[in-house]
Structure 1
């Protein structure tokens, strides 16, 4: 039985890692690129510059352009849990080196974004992390799950049972959890029971805080991206938390369709981000936004590293979009 669990875990990690490393089992022995693919890869590299190279991992399935070493989720999860921290006056990081969990404080309690892998992490990382930064976990009123993978919903049932909070998720992902999961592993808590369903244009409100919901499918059918205000003393910045970055659905029959929805979503949201002057672009995986390193940097003073500016936000979305287009060509070849 233990051997079966290990094999299941290995298969899961390989799938989750697909966006981060070139997997010999899935790709041809030699990368064949076309001029059209090269154009998209060049556009991605140009947009990435030197500060957004981590997003180039997305194209490594098409051609290894990031130059970054493969990443093991298992190794990242085994690292000591980083210290939680205050990012803005109303936004806090509580997570590990693999998956992030964010807490938004409002006049009527806490909105938690994602819930880690399982009950144990909900207790040791989320609850204890909130306590370390001076917040009361019992004030969690709402949990927004960015997408229906267990490393984001796994601890939600535990927190709901503890505090009676509501659980919010995109409608297609509620359906996915009720029918056929994308991935599963014994390390994850069980999917939550259907609660609050949101769609594109929904607004989640708690106290004085409103979070705009954008449906950005691809990573899962119902991935949601969140847009909200973050406060930094007398300044307010527009923040965006992209709900699902990787193309880790390569073995699915609908991978072409899903990747096209990702391409469409990044193009649509890039326009919206420009219109709303989004200047804070964060992720639910430290692998992309470097949240843990930025928190450490904040201790030295100076400008808040999470305020990357609108131009950098647009560049990040461009890298994601161009990497997806290059990958589409590779998958269709």
Structure 2
């Protein structure tokens, strides 16, 4: 059995676990304040001095799914956006102060990873950002929505209306956005409506390709049932690097043990894949985790220096370890509640 088939089967098992498992509190043997702290300590060791932003996940999460907070969202959207920037020869950052979109450029068009909160942001930060970087937004051929929350799909309908790209989302999240949205906000535009024959329901391990540039889509359930983590190659001054974008990070789903277990399994799986594929770059769809604006500022100051987005395979694995250990700490916290 090939490695690719094994990975695909592993992803299918994860998805089935997530859908089938119930959220009733399980018996977690020995869960205690001591085990919570042991997981936090393990996460802290894994984070070292370079991955501390990921430790925010170890803070206690609410046991019930938070309701939409439009005041907080309005304040986040109102913050000045960082400038767009070139992270690699063929990868560009486009985002507001808290949520990111990324453009992967090829000679045959652009693969856009996420679309921000709404059409206004898509016009200002994606269209405007691409033009500022010397790229034509009319060349967007695909939009990959990493998961079905409005801060990632909000600008899709605007861009589809303008440029007719194909929209890619996991089958689970297409279903969720069409039937039972997890979150709603007046600041998010409506989710995209899947158009048969044009839009794509991605399954684990499937890929989209433009002119030899391939983005492999791994379904990494947890943050949503169908969060997608894309993996692809970039270059920096002609040197190849392999990128993982983690598809969904926070624990905003309440005391849902099936989701936490799926999240943990996803981090374990992607740690192994990072080693197998020598992934040496980890980016996020929220820049509070990958510190993209600060790294881009360093690149603008020293464009011929080392690229701060290249952290090495070991650091990519450590970041996934931090996320997994924080999820284990959160699971033990919930298990202790009477």
Q: Is the TM value for this pair above 0.5?
A: yes
Q: Distance in 2 between matches of 1:58 and 1:50?
A: 16
Helix, strand or coil: the match of 1:329?
Answer: helix
Q: Distance in 1 between matches of 2:36 and 2:59?
A: 12
What are the residue-to-residue correspondences of 1:88-167 with 2, within 5 Å? 88-167=88-167
The answer to whether the aligner puts 1:320 opposite 2:319 as a matched pair is: no
Shift of 1:62: 6.3
The one of 245, 248, 254 equivalent to 1:244 is 248
Shift of 1:52: 1.0
Structure number with higher relative contact order (C-alpha < 8 Å, ≥ 6 residues apart): 2
The answer to whether the aligner puts 1:257 opposite 2:264 as a matched pair is: no
Aligned equivalent of 1:55: 54
Q: Distance in 1 between matches of 2:111 and 2:258?
A: 32
Aligned equivalent of 2:233: 229
8 Å CA contact retained: 2:100, 2:287:
yes
Helix, strand or coil: the match of 1:92?
Answer: strand
Q: Distance in 2 between matches of 1:161 and 1:250?
A: 35
Q: Distance in 1 between matches of 2:32 and 2:48?
A: 22
The answer to whether the aligner puts 1:278 opposite 2:282 as a matched pair is: no
Q: Distance in 2 between matches of 1:173 and 1:220?
A: 7
User: Would the alpha carbon gap of residues 145 and 278 (structure 1) be closer, same or farther in structure 2, given more than 3 Å must change?
Assistant: same
Shift of 1:207: 1.8
- 1:75-101 CA-partner distances (Å, limit 9, x unpaired): 432221111011101100010111000
Aligned equivalent of 1:311: 314
8 Å CA contact retained: 1:73, 1:98:
no
Number of residue-to-residue matches in the alignment: 291
8 Å CA contact retained: 1:107, 1:208:
no
Helix, strand or coil: the match of 1:297?
Answer: helix
8 Å CA contact retained: 2:115, 2:122:
yes
4+ residue stretches of structure 1 with deviation over 6 A?
Answer: none
Q: Distance in 2 between matches of 1:175 and 1:234?
A: 40
8 Å CA contact retained: 1:62, 1:330:
no
Aligned equivalent of 1:44: 43
Q: Distance in 1 between matches of 2:318 and 2:97?
A: 24
Helix, strand or coil: the match of 2:250?
Answer: coil
8 Å CA contact retained: 1:279, 1:307:
yes
Aligned equivalent of 2:294: 293
Provide structure 1 residue ranges, at least 5 long, that are not aligned to the other structure. 1-31, 64-71
Provide structure 2 residue ranges, at least 5 long, that are not aligned to the other structure. 1-30, 63-71
Q: Distance in 2 between matches of 1:38 and 1:297?
A: 35
> So what's the TM-score if we normalise by structure 1?
0.85
Q: Distance in 2 between matches of 1:305 and 1:233?
A: 13
Q: Distance in 2 between matches of 1:223 and 1:40?
A: 24
8 Å CA contact retained: 1:281, 1:313:
yes
Q: Distance in 1 between matches of 2:234 and 2:285?
A: 16
Shift of 1:293: 0.7
Aligned equivalent of 2:181: 181
The one of 183, 208, 213 equivalent to 1:209 is 213
Aligned equivalent of 1:15: none
Helix, strand or coil: the match of 2:125?
Answer: helix
8 Å CA contact retained: 2:61, 2:251:
no
